[in-house]
Amino acid sequence: MTDLSPEIQYLGVTALSRLHGHSDGFFQFIVFLRFQFLQRLSVEIIKKGNQT
């Protein structure tokens, strides 16, 4: 069963935009922190690899 009512479509677009960071919200904050952490971790691993 697929519900394509305007209300459900609006909720879907709102949730998707928050996940993609197009508005200030909870998901944008969490996703940004995760990527920032992974980037820093990658840089540290590369530095350690170059020291040996």
**Average pLDDT of the segment spanning 5-15:** 84
Mean pLDDT of the chain: 70
Q: Model's pTM, two decimal places? A: 0.35
Domain ranges of the chain: 25-52
5: left (phi over 0), alpha (psi -120 to 50) or beta: beta
Return the pLDDT at 26.
Answer: 53
pLDDT band at 23 (very low <50, low <70, confident <90, very high): low
Return the pLDDT at 10.
Answer: 86
Integer Cα distance of 28 and 18 in angstroms: 6
